[in-house]
Amino acid sequence: MSLLLSLARFIDALNEKIGLTVSWALLLAVLICSGNAIMRYSLNVSSNAWLEIQWYLFSAMFLLASAYTLKRNEHVRIDVIAGRFSRRTQVIIDIIGFALFLMPVTLLILYFSIPYALESIHNQEVSSNAGGLILWPAKLLIPVGFLLLALQGLSELIKRLGYLAGLVDAGEFEKQSANPEEEIAAIKAANKLD
């Protein structure tokens, strides 16, 4: 189990680094969008390439950061019912969800997206829009993103099994952002200091 936990920590570190790096794509997308709008409305100059690079960046943010989001336990879920169960029951529900839903769907999409991306690379596919960009980098993001998500799913399974075996603290996979009650308490504490 210690080898599997080392693998999980490696996957976590990889997706943490990728997620933090990809977060800069948002700033870049905003700058490109703003620059394109300014150029289009002030100088009446525009290009489809500027529009396409924006969706390339959005695709990179969505696909490459989904594993990072899973690592931080920030994916949308309905905790109304599961939140009432014990930590152990919640972990068992997570294991079932990862094993029966996340991993099969992720691996299926990965299986079908690899030939899709490889064909685009082989054909050197280019956008049909005038002045458009090459398409294969955007299509390559699909298998890369789902590979990272599958790896993070494996990491989450390992950590939860380690928790059930008593080898992992729940803090390694709990949500890492403040919940609304914690945010309210922090705001109240800050107001008392003023």
How far, CA to CA in Å, does 4 sit from each of 29, 96, 166, 185?
A: 37, 19, 14, 38
Among residues of the chain, what percentage have pLDDT more than 70? 91
Q: How far apart are CA 45 and CA 179, in angstroms?
A: 45
Name the residue with tokens 């685009």.
120
Name the residue with higher pLDDT: 86 or 193. Answer: 86
Characterise 92 by phi-psi region: left (phi > 0), alpha (psi -120 to 50), beta (else): alpha
Name the residue with tokens 């398409």.
135
pTM listed for this prediction: 0.80
Q: Is there a contact between 96 and 58 (Cβ–Cβ < 8 Å)?
A: no
Residue 1: per-residue pLDDT: 81
